[in-house]
């Protein structure tokens, strides 16, 4: 895969702006479109920061910060410690996409606890993580195209 030019602007992670920037790259990504439709409201949690993103068919929108008790309204949550997010995003930047050790799939299997869950233990919703995991990986791989500051 040819390296894509990254934006010069440094965007703080985690923040609504960071997710909006990656979303705008991803909706135009042909690989993302090829992977097909998805329907999931996902919360990304890094310690106190919880950002909700609506993956709505082929659009990605309604990105906003939410409170802990609003996670129950999300289909699933992906939670990593701040250092783990940082290491994952550094790996993505370095390799122009996650290397094997840092894909969402690997992290979910290798850690003692899965990185994804549904807050109300709804297995049907939690399993959306696996139904859409190729698309979610494209989303995070596109973080290689921006300059992230932590």
Partner 1 sequence: MVQKDSNTSSKADYEDNALPDLPDLSWMDKTFQWGTKALPEKNGGGLTLDALNIGIYGDIPEHYPYRNRLPRGAVPVPSAGSIGGYYVQDKYEQWADSAPHLYEEGISRRWSTATDIPWDTGRGLSEDVEIAIAQVATELSNWGSVESEVVSAWLQNLSPGYHEVKYFLSTAVYDSARVEEGYRKRALLNGAGMMLESPGRMNRACLETYSGWSQTVLTMWLLRGSLMTAIVRYLSVYGPTEADRELAFRILPDIMRKSAYACDHIRFAISKKSELTDVFQGTLQLAEFAQLSDFNDPVLWEALAIIFGGGVQNMELGMGRVLELQQHFLSVYLGRCKQANVDRTAQVANGPWGAILAGIPITGHTSADEMRAMIEEMRERARDESAR
Assign 3-class secondary structure to 48-75: CEEEEEEEEECEEEEEEECCHHHHHHCC
Q: Write down the least CB distance from residue 71 to partner 1, Å.
A: 19
**Cβ neighbours, 10 Å, residue 100:** 9
Angle at 34 between CA 74 and CA 116, to 5 degrees: 25
- Nearer Cβ to partner 1 (17/36): 36
Q: Smallest distance from the beta carbon of 67 to partner 1, in angstroms? A: 26
| Residue 43 DSSP one-character state | E
| Structure token digits, residue 106 | 């690997």
> Are 42 and 52 in contact, with CB atoms under 8 Å apart?
yes
**Closer by beta carbon to partner 1, 6 or else 31:** 31
Site residues (vs partner 1, CB under 8 A): 35-39, 56-59, 100, 105-106, 109-110, 123-124, 127, 130-134
Query: Of the two residues 28 and 149, which places its CB atom closer to partner 1 in the complex?
Result: 28
Nearer Cβ to partner 1 (16/58): 58
Nearest-approach distance from CB 139 to partner 1, in angstroms: 15
| Residue 136 CB, nearest approach to partner 1 (Å) | 11
């Amino acid at each position: 895969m040819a390296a894509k030019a990254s934006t010069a602007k440094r965007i703080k992670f985690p923040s609504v702006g960071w997710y909006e920037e990656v979303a705008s790259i991803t909706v135009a990504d042909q690989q993302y479109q090829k992977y097909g439709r998805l329907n999931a409201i996902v919360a990304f949690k890094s310690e106190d920061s919880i950002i909700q993103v609506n993956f709505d068919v082929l659009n990605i929108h309604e990105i906003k910060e939410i409170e802990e008790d609003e996670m129950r309204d999300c289909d699933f949550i992906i939670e990593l410690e701040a250092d783990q997010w940082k290491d994952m995003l550094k790996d993505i930047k370095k390799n122009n996409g996650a290397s094997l050790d840092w894909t969402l799939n690997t992290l979910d299997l290798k850690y003692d606890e899965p990185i994804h869950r549904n807050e109300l233990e709804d297995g049907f919703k939690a399993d959306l993580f696996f139904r859409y995991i190729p698309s979610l990986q494209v989303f995070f791989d596109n973080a290689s195209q921006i300059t992230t500051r932590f």
